[in-house]
Amino acid sequence: MSLFTRSSAAPTQTPTFDDTPAPDEDLAPSTSVSGDGRETTFEALGVADDLTAVLAAAGIEHPFPIQALAIPDALAGLDICGKAQTGSGKTLAFGLPLVERTTTARRRRPHSLVLAPTRELANQIAEDLTPLAAARGLWLTTIYGGVSMSRQVRALHEGVDIVIATPGRLNDLLEQEELSLEAVSFVVVDEADQMADMGFLPQVERILNQIDGRPQTLLFSATLDGAVGTLVRRYQQHPARHEVASTTPTVDQLEQRFIGVHADDRVDVTSEICAGAQRALVFVRTTRGADRVAKRLGQTGLRVAAIHGRLTQNRREATLERFRKGVAPVLVATNVAARGLHVDGVDVVVHFDPPEDHKTYLHRSGRTARAGEGGMVVTLVMPEQRPDIDTLQRDAGTDYAVVEMRPDDPRLRDLASWEAPREERRSRGNSRRDGDRAGSRGAPTNGVVGRRPGKRQPGRSRGRRSRGAPGGAGGNSRGGGARRAGGRRAATR
Ligand code: AMP
């Protein structure tokens, strides 16, 4: 059993109906409303039997709130503007209608397009959609930079119905006229806020401008203000707006510990924490720091890998795979590498270097507590970092006291066994936050469906290696492999 308590809290939902982009409410406490997804089924939402069978085979039987909200509207042909984060189940929220509404395309003229900010997310989406596409005999491919273009071009020439792409490489291929978007009738812009942060929106607009007519457009983003709001206004028509309180940034869903350490003890303290974890993510500030900390943690006897922006795409993927499979259960990561990092079953996130600000804190911390599970988050605080941590906590709306520990402190091995003390000073004089927190901490949420532990997810584990590619081209979907399921025309090119 894990030493890191996992609560059964899951995504909550707040349908919104107004037409103005919602303000950035990233940090607002989640509101839970009625509409428990456990009473709903995918069939009741209008999902066809062949697709629900694929979900059932993966242990997915009841829709998450964002799915319950968005799927019927998307199946009815409406644009969707979804405020939902990684971990909320948004991939299936757009993926099921996408597969339902995609038909077989001509070569180099895909019918459906998904834009994602990172290669990792594109791969993740492809993995989730592959078995659903296979059920319909549809082909899909991923297109992103950092890998050879030729396989992607070949896939497009062979004919793909669904393209899942990052904007940069897709624009390159459009410029080279390797594909045309004139037949696209279904578009998803996923994690639009991240695309905005990464400066991709001009590229996204260039792509959307090339689509003839008015495709059905689904946009998902953690925030809908600023540039994302502009995108919504320009490219969506009367979208149905759906919002689920995020699984990532509600501090109340996380078990948090702030541990005061001396510089010399940081590695050993981290090692003690990670020793009991099924999977632990350790965040550091720099690439060099990632390699150094990984090496030193390795010297304490842990199996550790490091991931950062300087690794090649192949190495990043190989490293992630080792982490996913538990070959290296401790992953030391920089923020950059953590973008688009979607791994379930992370028991504990350790902020070895404190995050720059509360947003980064919540983003990093959200790598645990995926799919509505609770998660343990530990921040190491050296004496000189205290003022920054105070600011961070204030901005994040938390008020934990920093507890000093040495590596031999038994509490490190069992973080869930002790209650994190609160800092008195901040609990006074902030009645809104305190009131909200008191009301939401530990309270059961409505409108939630917990992920079923131990169940397979669509496209995970089984699909990738078991399906052979036509012509023996290998079962690797990344960067554009092709494969055929059970003799059917299906899946990933
Ligand atoms: P996503 O936000 O789309 O990345 O999904 C987060 C995780 O939840 C993924 O591992 C999904 O496979 C899983 N998931 C999505 N929808 C459901 C559901 N209705 N029931 C159980 N697990 C789900």
pLDDT tens digits, residue range 134-192?
999 999 999 999 899 999 999 999 999 999 999 999 999 999 999 999 999 999 999 99
Identify whether residues 230 and 304 lie together within a single domain.
no
pLDDT of residue 456: 34
Domain endpoint, select from 438, 455, 472: 438
Identify whether residues 74 and 200 lie together within a single domain.
yes
Task: State how far the alpha carbon of 227 is from the alpha carbons of 2, 82, 171, 208, 230, in Å.
Answer: 42, 15, 20, 15, 5
Q: For residue 94, how far is its CA from the centre of ligand 1 (angstroms)?
A: 12
Closest CA to ligand 1's atom 21: 451
Q: Give, for ligand 1, the residue of 457, 461, 462 to mutate: max count of ligand atoms closer than 8 Å to Cβ.
A: 457
Q: For residue 222, how far is its CA from the centre of ligand 1 (angstroms)?
A: 16
Q: What is the dihedral of CA 339, 342, 345, 347, to 10 degrees?
A: 10
pLDDT tens track for 48-106: 999 999 999 988 988 988 999 999 999 999 999 999 877 788 999 999 999 999 999 99
Identify whether residues 281 and 428 lie together within a single domain.
yes
- Return the CATH number at 305: 3.40.50.300
Ligand 1 atom nearest residue 452's Cα = 21
- Enter the tokens of residue 456: 């397979």
Ligand 1 atom nearest residue 128's Cα = 12
Q: Which residues pair with 380 in a beta bridge?
A: 259
Q: Helix (H, G, I), strand (E, B), or coil: what is residue 283?
A: strand
- Give φ, ψ of 485 to 5 degrees: -100, 115
% of the chain surpassing 70 pLDDT: 74
Identify whether residues 235 and 256 lie together within a single domain.
no
Q: For residue 88, how far is its CA from the centre of ligand 1 (angstroms)?
A: 7
Ligand 1 atom nearest residue 42's Cα = 19
Closest CA to ligand 1's atom 22: 451
Identify whether residues 232 and 356 lie together within a single domain.
no
Task: Determine how many CB atoms are found less than 10 A away from the CB of residue 321.
Answer: 13
Q: For residue 87, how far is its CA from the centre of ligand 1 (angstroms)?
A: 6
What residues make up the domain containing 189?
15-246+464-487
Identify whether residues 242 and 258 lie together within a single domain.
no
% of the chain surpassing 90 pLDDT: 55
Identify whether residues 235 and 262 lie together within a single domain.
no
pLDDT of residue 201: 95
- With respect to residue 38, please indicate whether it lies within any of the assigned structural domains: yes
Residues with CB under 6 A from ligand 1: 60, 62-64, 67, 86-92, 342, 344, 370-371, 451-452, 457
**pLDDT at residue 277 tops 50:** yes
The set of residues, in sequence order, having a beta carbon less than 8 Å from that of 152 and lying 6+ positions away, is 141, 142, 143, 169, 173, 178, 479, 480
Identify whether residues 430 and 469 lie together within a single domain.
no
pLDDT of residue 316: 85
* Count of domains observed in the chain: 2
pLDDT of residue 102: 96
- With respect to residue 2, please indicate whether it lies within any of the assigned structural domains: no
Q: For residue 133, how far is its CA from the centre of ligand 1 (angstroms)?
A: 17
Q: For residue 162, how far is its CA from the centre of ligand 1 (angstroms)?
A: 20
Identify whether residues 157 and 113 lie together within a single domain.
yes
* Separation between Cα atoms, residue 23 and residue 88, nearest integer Å: 19
- With respect to residue 22, please indicate whether it lies within any of the assigned structural domains: yes
Identify whether residues 374 and 279 lie together within a single domain.
yes
- Give φ, ψ of 450 to 5 degrees: -75, 150
- Enter the tokens of residue 432: 């809104």
Residue 382 confidence class, pLDDT cut points 50, 70, 90 = very high
Q: For residue 455, how far is its CA from the centre of ligand 1 (angstroms)?
A: 11
Residue 446 confidence class, pLDDT cut points 50, 70, 90 = very low
Residue 338 confidence class, pLDDT cut points 50, 70, 90 = low
**pLDDT at residue 1 tops 80:** no
Cβ atoms of residues 274 and 352 within 8 Å: no
Q: For residue 206, how far is its CA from the centre of ligand 1 (angstroms)?
A: 31
- With respect to residue 127, please indicate whether it lies within any of the assigned structural domains: yes
Q: Give, for ligand 1, the residue of 92, 220, 342 to mutate: max count of ligand atoms closer than 8 Å to Cβ.
A: 92
- Give φ, ψ of 404 to 5 degrees: -70, 135
* Separation between Cα atoms, residue 479 and residue 98, nearest integer Å: 21
Cβ atoms of residues 447 and 433 within 8 Å: no
pLDDT tens track for 191-237: 999 899 889 999 999 999 999 889 999 999 988 888 999 999 999 99
Identify whether residues 61 and 201 lie together within a single domain.
yes
The set of residues, in sequence order, having a beta carbon less than 8 Å from that of 56 and lying 6+ positions away, is none
Ligand 1 atom nearest residue 457's Cα = 12
- With respect to residue 444, please indicate whether it lies within any of the assigned structural domains: no
Identify whether residues 163 and 144 lie together within a single domain.
yes
